Structure 1
Amino acid sequence: MTFVSLGSIIGSGWLLGALGAAKSAGPASIISWLLAAVLLLILALIHADLGAAYPVAGGTARYPYYAFGAFAGFTAGWSGYLQAVMIAPIEVEGAITYLESAPWASGLDMVNKDQTLTATGIGIAVVALVAFTFINLMGAKWLSDSNIAVVIWKTVVPVMTIVVIIALTFHPGNFSQGGGGFAPNGFHGIFAALPLGVVFALQGFEQAAQMAGEAKNPKKHVARSIILAMFIGAVIYIFLEVAFIGAIDPNNIAKGWDNPLGAGSFGPYYDLAVAAGAGWLASVLLIDAVVSPAGTGLVYLGTSARISYALGEDAALPSALTKVNKRGVPWVSILVAFVVGLIALLPFPSWQELVGLITDATAIMYAFGPVSLAALYRRHAGREHPYRVPMSRLLTPLGFVAANLIIYWSGFEAIWKLVVAIVGGGLVFLIAAVARRGHRQAKDLGLRAIAWVWPWLIGLLVIGFLGRYGKGALNVLPEWIDIAIVVVFSIVMFYVAVSLAMKPEQIEAAVEADEFELEAIDAEGAAARG
């Protein structure tokens, strides 16, 4: 279980995350990693509680469904789908961006100076997405993140990078003397660094919570695996940032952190390894820049297809998404994931811009966890919770605040795009529900219970518009006042949401229906094996 979460936490984000964080916060980017680790750990413990109490597949969509009805479950599931479906294009773009630093790639001209893809880069990205799609249609499952060998590779390479770079080249003065001192952009830079790859790199803890039903002792193992994976991931990322900042040429940051590696540099650790004379490490990093993103992108394209398949099965999306080929592969859902992946590359955003969108979608999905747990504690009190969040009355609202702060720091541009996508998905959901009135979930939309969701999303959009982060923001809210507004707004919406949860008998019916379906699936599997 620890390896499942760790394999999701340590991905391609480490290849580029340190550079974006350093540009925003300088040496204080180390605080950004610490802050992200604390915020995500709170959310992780909440999901560990939910995963142990309700061990079902696709839990991030099922928990809100139990507490607030089908519409809430769809909204959380749709956010999860948007997050998953954008992983493949961002992994491809991350690999292409990193490989641009290789000597043999200089003539290909794959990346522009602003880190967006050129026509050549987009063409390569499309070819890669086509390859991912073809492999998934054939039913192959390569390079799964849960594979121990892959996780070991993804862990050993960054650890080896830390040791080698610190041993060969390290300038302690970079942390205080160059380009404005330790925090050249103050707390604004620290917060702004979070959506530039920091939160993206540390997300993925929910994988262990999803496996809670298979744990021998969920009360201990779920929480311990999540905490251990988060601790290992956070320590590695913090030391990667330390190694990166310490290895930079002091002359590059004498005037600021806007371009700490110099013009035309896109592969942070590759360039540092070359400068330190560790050519062999540079070669390993180029291999990792292909293997790790390719494996993750391949798996997530299939994962997003399975999510849309499940939403189609639940009458949340058109039933055409449930069509499978002779190999049992949901081919329509895979093709839809491919098309959405292509759209994600438009209008040719950079790796960091895509990261902001994914961070926002993930935070929205995570935000449903705290309100769902608090509502289920109150309205489904008879349910056994093998693992309980410590100080739940404090940590559940704090978890909702943490998710909303991450959304706010992602910037107005990312917020409005996600809100538009969620509204569009909601309209499709309502149309599908009307067309399939006889389905269990179509009968129980939970429109009253979800009455808090739209004020919540619109409120975040307005605060983001008036706030200080992202393109298009008016920057009229003073520093720290904006944070206070987000915190107060989040606490109010948290208690409003919990008060609107479904009635105990509705929750019990939804949980029992799911458990009945799971028992039927298990019986079919046993019959097929027997």
Structure 2
Amino acid sequence: MSTTSNLTLSGKLRRDAGIVGLLFASTTSMIGSGWLFGAYHASKIAGPLSIGSWVLGAVIIMLIALCFAELAALFPRSGALVHMSHASHGEGLGRIWCWLLFLAYVPVPAVEAEAIVTYANNYLPYFIQPGSAGLLSVTGFITCAALLGVTAALNLMVVRWLLNVNSTITWWKILVPVLTIIGLMAASTHWDVTSAAPGTYKLSGMFTALPAAGIVFSYLGFRTAIDLGGETANPHRDIPLAVIGSVLLAAAIYIMLQVAFIWALSPADLAHGWAQLSFKGEMGPFAGLAASLGLGWMATLLYIDAYISPGGTGLMYVTGGSRVLFAAGEMGAGPRMLTRLNGNKVPWAAVLLMWVVGAIFLLPFPAWQKMVSYITSITVLTYGLGPVALLVLRRNLPELHRPFRMWAAPLLAPLAFICSNLVIYWTGFETNTFLFVIVAIGFVLYALYYHVIVRKPVGEFGWNHIGWLLPWFGGIWLLSYLGGIGGGRGVIGFGWDIALVASWSVVVMLLAMRCALAREQTATMMERMNQTS
């Protein structure tokens, strides 16, 4: 597919997004259903150590975000995550990564829609199957699909209007958690609750809570600013500021929310241990806690926010996912139809695909926590390429102007890659098995299509540049099997598992660097992408 035909199909995206719009796009992608449920689930898993879970999660995500802040300034175009993979390891990895990114984006609006109906089920008991631990009923499924349709319809607006709507939502989404923090702390009378039920939680829970309680999931939305890089007039300045600023803002809110939640508990709430924490309104933890403290106004505010916060996050993930699909069509990694724009210069076919496939994703993961585990695992998997691509581009194009330059990249980039793999490992064996089976099926189908149906030359597939994926995915899966999390065999104990995952990550990163494109190939790929921007 030639550059000329690409431009004819796709046209030009509008560059209407400013720094505030990008900052709030990432912020609202992070402050969604995670804050409504995360503190409660984290407390049950890690007790008072859950505060450390949020701090650790912020550190891990900031390491990854710093890698992408440098990369995003080098790829100031919508769907930049797709372009990064092309520049580091060529078209073969670019195609694979494109669809992994799609699988990471498309379930998020679905999980946010499910969070909305989960709250609504407290007073309209039609959406959740009774006694099913959160499984959707037929009515709940239809309602979620309709909510996804609303987010898709809003995404067909001019991007400037869309971001203005999102900015209004984001101000609300910041205000309500801040009021919740202040209200719960003011009403707290048991400041020593952090020492209650000391034998009912473990240090390992602080780590397993990262994926299991939705902590990492809650931080993942920083990349929305990157996805909109082709729609801002000053991407070299705006994207890094929006990425880093949104992580700092979300981290401050999430950590203080966890502190406020724990301090608002009473020793009686923990009579049977942290894992058995329960109170009226459990399906809406903060709202139920506020009601038990006599803060009726706060409970009402939280029930209203239960619609707005997840809805805003779902809205932005449809935006980001559609731009990834647009980039896939632009780079030839997906159907050309994905580059079609409507009169508002929005990729309407990509938005439609996000809606349809998002509704399908309500089926295998019909409960909030189940879907969060999958999203966390596959999203962090896609983030793992960032540190690798950063080091490849530093090696291949050292003279390239970098508007934002990550400090101590030779040390911090490998550390970010290790952290990514640890989060995947902590997700657990069962979730990772499902994840890697999906990846394997997709890869086999793509290879068959490439070699058997379209009969393209074997040499053009890029096997020599993607061979490192097998030891990466296979090694993490094997370690998950041997570990003791989420159905693993328990052969590897806590501490040793962290050391083994870290060691294997270093080996994989060295393999990835050996399999990367040569300097001339990267330069050629960058030139090709500049022609499509």
Which residue, 451, 468, 472 being the options, matches 2:484? 468
Which residue is 1:151 aligned to? 170
* 1:285–1:126 distance in 2 versus 1, CA, 3 Å: same
Q: Distance in 2 between matches of 1:152 and 1:496?
A: 45
State the secondary structure of the residue aligned to 2:464: coil
| Partner deviation per Cα, 1:395-423 (whole Å, 9 max, x = no partner) | 11111101111111111222122222222
Which residue is 1:525 aligned to? none
Question: How far did residue 150 of structure 1 move?
Answer: 1.7
* 1:327–1:167 distance in 2 versus 1, CA, 3 Å: closer
Is 1:447 the counterpart of 2:463 in the alignment? Answer: yes
Q: How does 1:99-138 map to 2 (within 5 A)?
A: 99-101=120-122, 104-106=123-125, 112-133=131-152
Question: How far did residue 513 of structure 1 move?
Answer: 0.7
Which residue is 1:457 aligned to? 473
Is 1:191 the counterpart of 2:207 in the alignment? Answer: yes
Is 1:11 the counterpart of 2:37 in the alignment? Answer: no
State the secondary structure of the residue aligned to 2:258: helix
Q: Which moved more, 1:385-394 or 1:150-159?
A: 385-394
Q: Distance in 2 between matches of 1:448 and 1:418?
A: 24
1:143–1:299: 8 Å Cα contact kept in structure 2?
Answer: no
1:317–1:432: 8 Å Cα contact kept in structure 2?
Answer: no
Which residue is 2:248 aligned to? 231
Q: Distance in 1 between matches of 2:312 and 2:136?
A: 21
Which residue is 2:428 aligned to? 411
Which residue is 1:493 aligned to? 508
State the secondary structure of the residue aligned to 2:431: helix
Q: Distance in 2 between matches of 1:459 and 1:25?
A: 27
1:4–1:145: 8 Å Cα contact kept in structure 2?
Answer: no
2:227–2:324: 8 Å Cα contact kept in structure 1?
Answer: no
Which residue, 149, 152, 173 being the options, matches 2:192? 173
Q: Distance in 2 between matches of 1:168 and 1:263?
A: 18
* 1:16–1:313 distance in 2 versus 1, CA, 3 Å: same
Report how many residues are paired.
509
Q: Distance in 2 between matches of 1:506 and 1:30?
A: 46
| Partner deviation per Cα, 1:277-335 (whole Å, 9 max, x = no partner) | 22222121111111222233244335434433432343323445556778876565445
Which residue is 2:414 aligned to? 397
Matching residue's letter, 2:49 = A
State the secondary structure of the residue aligned to 1:204: helix
State the secondary structure of the residue aligned to 2:508: helix
* 1:111–1:170 distance in 2 versus 1, CA, 3 Å: farther
Question: How far did residue 465 of structure 1 move?
Answer: 1.3
State the secondary structure of the residue aligned to 1:88: helix
Q: Distance in 2 between matches of 1:263 and 1:121?
A: 22
1:10–1:233: 8 Å Cα contact kept in structure 2?
Answer: yes
Question: How far did residue 495 of structure 1 move?
Answer: 1.1
2:126–2:139: 8 Å Cα contact kept in structure 1?
Answer: no
Which residue is 2:388 aligned to? 371
1:316–1:432: 8 Å Cα contact kept in structure 2?
Answer: no
Q: Distance in 1 between matches of 2:47 and 2:330?
A: 47
| Partner deviation per Cα, 1:97-124 (whole Å, 9 max, x = no partner) | 22333xx335765564522223443343
* 1:131–1:205 distance in 2 versus 1, CA, 3 Å: closer
Is 1:345 the counterpart of 2:366 in the alignment? Answer: no
1:91–1:297: 8 Å Cα contact kept in structure 2?
Answer: yes
Is 1:510 the counterpart of 2:531 in the alignment? Answer: no
- For structure 1, which runs of at least 5 residues remain unmatched after alignment? 519-530
1:83–1:361: 8 Å Cα contact kept in structure 2?
Answer: yes
Q: Distance in 1 between matches of 2:384 and 2:109?
A: 23
Q: How does 1:252-401 map to 2 (within 5 A)?
A: 252-262=269-279, 265-319=282-336, 321=338, 333-401=350-418
2:76–2:235: 8 Å Cα contact kept in structure 1?
Answer: no
| Partner deviation per Cα, 1:133-156 (whole Å, 9 max, x = no partner) | 555579899864883222211111
Q: Which moved more, 1:142-151 or 1:158-167?
A: 142-151
| Partner deviation per Cα, 1:436-485 (whole Å, 9 max, x = no partner) | 6899xx98543211110122111111111111222x32121111111111
1:25–1:190: 8 Å Cα contact kept in structure 2?
Answer: yes
Matching residue's letter, 2:435 = L
Which residue, 11, 16, 37 being the options, matches 2:58? 37
Question: How far did residue 345 of structure 1 move?
Answer: 1.9
Instruction: Indicate the RMSD between aligned Cα atoms, in angstroms.
Output: 3.0
Q: Which moved more, 1:318-327 or 1:21-30?
A: 318-327
Q: Distance in 2 between matches of 1:127 and 1:381?
A: 49
Question: How far did residue 88 of structure 1 move?
Answer: 1.4
| Partner deviation per Cα, 1:69-89 (whole Å, 9 max, x = no partner) | 112222332222112100111
TM-score, normalised via structure 2 length: 0.87
Q: Which moved more, 1:268-277 or 1:300-309?
A: 300-309
* 1:142–1:105 distance in 2 versus 1, CA, 3 Å: farther
* 1:163–1:110 distance in 2 versus 1, CA, 3 Å: farther
Matching residue's letter, 1:207 = T
State the secondary structure of the residue aligned to 1:105: coil
1:208–1:225: 8 Å Cα contact kept in structure 2?
Answer: yes
Q: Which moved more, 1:361-370 or 1:275-284?
A: 275-284
Which residue is 1:522 aligned to? none
1:97–1:110: 8 Å Cα contact kept in structure 2?
Answer: no
Which residue, 59, 65, 72 being the options, matches 2:93? 72
Q: Which moved more, 1:118-127 or 1:393-402?
A: 118-127
| Partner deviation per Cα, 1:17-46 (whole Å, 9 max, x = no partner) | 111111110111001001111111111111
Matching residue's letter, 2:84 = Y
1:144–1:150: 8 Å Cα contact kept in structure 2?
Answer: no
* 1:159–1:297 distance in 2 versus 1, CA, 3 Å: same
2:158–2:344: 8 Å Cα contact kept in structure 1?
Answer: yes
Q: Distance in 2 between matches of 1:331 and 1:218?
A: 27
Matching residue's letter, 2:136 = L
Matching residue's letter, 1:63 = M
1:143–1:296: 8 Å Cα contact kept in structure 2?
Answer: no
Is 1:50 the counterpart of 2:71 in the alignment? Answer: yes
* 1:215–1:253 distance in 2 versus 1, CA, 3 Å: farther
State the secondary structure of the residue aligned to 1:175: helix
Identity across matched positions, percent = 36
TM-score, normalised via structure 1 length: 0.87
- For structure 2, which runs of at least 5 residues remain unmatched after alignment? 1-18
* 1:161–1:356 distance in 2 versus 1, CA, 3 Å: same
State the secondary structure of the residue aligned to 2:198: coil
Q: Distance in 2 between matches of 1:476 and 1:256?
A: 27
Question: How far did residue 268 of structure 1 move?
Answer: 0.8
Q: Distance in 2 between matches of 1:432 and 1:512?
A: 28
1:437–1:443: 8 Å Cα contact kept in structure 2?
Answer: no
* 1:116–1:414 distance in 2 versus 1, CA, 3 Å: same
* 1:305–1:4 distance in 2 versus 1, CA, 3 Å: closer
Q: Distance in 1 between matches of 2:446 and 2:169?
A: 37
Is 1:420 the counterpart of 2:437 in the alignment? Answer: yes
